[in-house]
Structure 1
């Protein structure tokens, strides 16, 4: 694939704009760790929402979707579509709780919610476990996509791609902090959407395809188009497919698995954006925009390219023929997406390359900033240098940014395909999700609950990867991980001491979570003459109702788009009406949903350091 002058002009123009943004905001970002990691807590919902959706528009995501569609059809996307449920739960129940907490990182939650040395240990360990270990795995997966894109589109070998991509991402991330990331994400998302839509249009225009109408009748594509897997229990293979693609994701996975960007109860870089919002209303608006755009707006351009790739490259062997220099063990379904981009005309080719670079930079810069926020705020400042000045903290954040990218780049050279990394992350997080949902609403959960959940889920993940029977299906491994981990942390909760009474009261007083799980704390506080507020109770039921309506609306919009593309107009119109009705209901409920104290930003709570 050859890029000409106009392509390179577009690419370098994109780099220039990104670096100018980073340079402009670098002075402000370097003032303090709060400016570097939270942009002063005054960001509007739309900018935060664009940043959330741009971050999940990773360079590996089109390849992952393509891999899924080629193997399991459009219905295979339920492995990530199911996470809409936890996303909507975050919107309508948890967003205001996170913003109300006033903390700097979601790991600071541990010493806000729990007390003593176990809470401190949990915060410090999770800072390294998530901020370094887990985060490097995520970035390595994204970097693997960059390797394949770099080889197909630019003729670069893996090491060259990693060095170039990592250098650009690190310079940008270290300069501007979160504000630079947010401002550039706004531009990156627009470029990435235009590029992905352009790629889909060009894919349909290929001579072998001849438009959408011919594509959906092609024999290579017909059995991949269904948006739901066949409800066929007649054979073991069809039953396993239904369980893997739909039953497990909708009944178990969405609430039980911790996955970046879809953490049950919120967390990670999603929580970071909510904590940077102006107030609770902006935090809710940002997460709602993110979930609508992430699930209803973006998937179909990728799906169209994936379906078209089945005509041009019917199997992995045809991909190997097209790219003989690519190592055989890296020629997987995710390679088909960049391979389809080889047909783009000049100009659009440069824009799409820029969009993929944008997607890479957006995700990597977010993860670098998020991971370094853990290292600086939850490990270095908390345990190594409590009296460190703001300039020193920013410097440590920038150094950690460089080191994490180096290790992620090295790991990327050993991965093989996008789905491999996706399954690793799912298995490691299996069983911890319910804990993250309930810790806000059940007083009895303590730091030992989280420590046990973390350790057991990791051990079970190692068993699933290296010791489980080879014939054991992946969904059964996930169920085993969820069951074992959940039982372990529930037992640990019940047999270990309850948390300090005053810590529980201070948490409730600050956050107002509400719910039956705090009744014992409320009753005891009232008996002691220090009653706690109960205004949180009235919004939980409404929040869950809005979550369900929101899911119906977004899924309806997603499937309506698909039916319009498939030419099934009646189904498309019906689902469009359902989506509009759902949106109307949420609009009428908006004032109640966002009710709360939005007058001032949350204040950082006092955390006792043991």
Structure 2
């Protein structure tokens, strides 16, 4: 690795970890660790939301997805404006009014303690899957660059993120996210520029080559939810983004870090809408790489495809210095999301479990100790999950499938509480049925291999698991509530 590239990368790593840890030298309370005392500026929170959206899943998996296929995955981004509008109109005011650092406090108010426990455990499992995917994707370019083993890189980078997340709290997370968001945008644009001017017949040839291969397609417009069509991804994206804005602890926490409700709304719009053009850039990078290697096939080793193409390009085709910047950008994307997940998971463990069932009303000192220990444990577990990701064919598809499963339909429970008059019995039955549906959709392929008849196969695309789980919980709960009220009126 050229000295300049190594220097750029190491300087970035040391600077960002040092910057994050510097927040630990201030006098801190548990509230500072989880919500920053509600005094952070809207632009920084917005950049943090954006950086959380991006992660290395976007930085590497989206170009890999576009290189291997088309722009079908970009439809996910098109669902964000509607989800953001609903967040600004309903979710932000709701959580600002509740004034609890837990996203699941609302569910306990509506349905009881079981709902809060169920949702918080689903959240923790989802974050472990997310962090594991990101850790794995972070390791790919460094493996190509330095020849280090992927497991070693996952362990080293994981520990680096844990250090500043564990000591700096939400302020360290948000401010490092803001810096990292700027770096990753710059890195992506720099890479795109190199591809453009590296085409033998000029930048315009990218469009002609890609167009011939139908690389700009958003997918089939057939109303089919068994394959990755435009409508399937759009519906999936809407449900995932509603879950992000409505019930995801890492987003809800950010609503509370803003000074006012209006500032929280501005940050939500900034973070969500900024992701759309940036994700477009990532998809275009993948398409441009396809054209680049179609025009110069001798530059790409045989058999190299998917998520590994972009890291290979970064290492072998970029000028000295730019490679270091791009590696730093990828780490910026990944570290920002992992740090967010670690901090929000620690907050969930303290507020939803420790202070409720183990040690009510803990002191500030004990609360901080629990937050830091929880950060450490979640960080170490995420490293283990990252090691388990090693070898998957597509990290993006693996992450989407796991997020659908572990989400557990908690969006359905949240919408049931928000939009209906359902009581505890109806909600319990609806969740049980929803979990059964999620379990069947997730495991039917494995059970069929074990001898279950083909008639029990899940006919829908894997990504539809969260959609069907959410709809089952909401519709069953809503229907039972209506039936109960109708029966009561008939008797009365």
Bin the TM-score by the shorter chain.
Answer: 0.7 to 0.9
Q: CA deviation at 1:345?
A: 0.9
Contact 1:85 1:254 in 2 (8 A): no
Q: Secondary structure at the match of 2:10?
A: helix
Match of 2:472 in 1: 487
Q: Secondary structure at the match of 2:252?
A: helix
Aligned partner of 2:212 among 216, 222, 229: 222
Q: CA deviation at 1:373?
A: 0.7
Aligned partner of 1:422 among 391, 396, 400: 400
Question: 1:464 and 1:393, CA in 2 relative to 1: closer, same or farther beyond 3 A?
Answer: farther
Aligned partner of 2:172 among 175, 180, 190: 180
Q: CA deviation at 1:340?
A: 1.9
Question: 1:498 and 1:263, CA in 2 relative to 1: closer, same or farther beyond 3 A?
Answer: farther
Contact 2:245 2:252 in 1 (8 A): no
Deviates more, 1:61-70 or 1:356-365: 61-70
Cα deviation digits, residues 128-155 of structure 1 (max 9, x gap)? 3322x22111100111101212212232
Cα deviation digits, residues 488-509 of structure 1 (max 9, x gap)? 554345558999xxxxxxxxxx
Contact 2:80 2:273 in 1 (8 A): no
Say whether residues 1:62 and 2:62 are aligned partners: no
Query: Distance in 2 between the 1:143 and 1:46 partners?
Result: 27
Gaps of 5+ in 2: 449-453, 486-492
Q: Secondary structure at the match of 2:360?
A: coil
Contact 1:96 1:283 in 2 (8 A): no
Q: CA deviation at 1:436?
A: 2.8
Cα deviation digits, residues 80-100 of structure 1 (max 9, x gap)? 433442233212332222222
Query: Distance in 2 between the 1:81 and 1:430 partners?
Result: 24
Contact 1:432 1:453 in 2 (8 A): no
Query: Distance in 1 between the 2:298 and 2:399 partners?
Result: 24
Q: How does 1:109-258 map to 2 (within 5 A)?
A: 109-114=106-111, 119-131=112-124, 133-208=125-200, 210-218=201-209, 222-229=212-219, 231=221, 244-250=228-234, 252-255=235-238, 257-258=239-240
Query: Distance in 1 between the 2:482 and 2:370 partners?
Result: 37
Match of 2:17 in 1: 19
Say whether residues 1:276 and 2:257 are aligned partners: yes
Q: CA deviation at 1:332?
A: 4.9
Question: 1:211 and 1:319, CA in 2 relative to 1: closer, same or farther beyond 3 A?
Answer: closer
Cα deviation digits, residues 100-129 of structure 1 (max 9, x gap)? 221112022223333xxxx22332343333
Contact 2:429 2:477 in 1 (8 A): yes
Q: How does 1:385-464 map to 2 (within 5 A)?
A: 385-415=359-389, 416=392, 417-418=394-395, 419-429=397-407, 432-444=410-422, 446=424, 447-448=427-428, 451-452=431-432, 455-456=435-436, 458-464=438-444
Match of 1:308 in 2: 288
Contact 1:21 1:184 in 2 (8 A): yes
Cα deviation digits, residues 460-509 of structure 1 (max 9, x gap)? 3432452365997874455576446633554345558999xxxxxxxxxx
Contact 1:10 1:350 in 2 (8 A): yes
Question: 1:72 and 1:79, CA in 2 relative to 1: closer, same or farther beyond 3 A?
Answer: farther
Cα deviation digits, residues 528-570 of structure 1 (max 9, x gap)? xxxxxxxxxxxxxxxxxxxxxxxxxxxxxxxxxxxxxxxxxxx
Contact 2:199 2:205 in 1 (8 A): no
Say whether residues 1:45 and 2:21 are aligned partners: no
Match of 1:566 in 2: none
Instruction: Give 1 or 2 for the bigger CA radius of gyration.
Output: 1
Q: Secondary structure at the match of 1:439?
A: helix
Question: 1:453 and 1:148, CA in 2 relative to 1: closer, same or farther beyond 3 A?
Answer: farther
Q: Secondary structure at the match of 1:23?
A: helix
Query: Distance in 2 between the 1:95 and 1:450 partners?
Result: 26
Contact 2:93 2:261 in 1 (8 A): yes
Say whether residues 1:292 and 2:276 are aligned partners: no
Query: Distance in 2 between the 1:457 and 1:380 partners?
Result: 31
Query: Distance in 1 between the 2:39 and 2:419 partners?
Result: 28
Say whether residues 1:338 and 2:311 are aligned partners: yes
Q: CA deviation at 1:77?
A: 1.9
Contact 2:83 2:245 in 1 (8 A): yes
Q: Secondary structure at the match of 2:388?
A: coil
Q: Give the aligned length.
A: 473
Query: Distance in 2 between the 1:125 and 1:438 partners?
Result: 15
Question: 1:498 and 1:25, CA in 2 relative to 1: closer, same or farther beyond 3 A?
Answer: farther
- Normalising by structure 1, report the TM-score: 0.70
Q: Secondary structure at the match of 1:103?
A: coil
Give me the CA root mean square deviation.
3.4
Bigger fraction of residues in helix: 2
Question: 1:445 and 1:214, CA in 2 relative to 1: closer, same or farther beyond 3 A?
Answer: farther
Contact 1:105 1:373 in 2 (8 A): yes
Q: CA deviation at 1:263?
A: 2.7
Deviates more, 1:72-81 or 1:261-270: 261-270
Q: Secondary structure at the match of 2:244?
A: coil
Match of 2:451 in 1: none
Contact 2:442 2:465 in 1 (8 A): no
Contact 2:415 2:474 in 1 (8 A): no
Q: CA deviation at 1:200?
A: 0.9
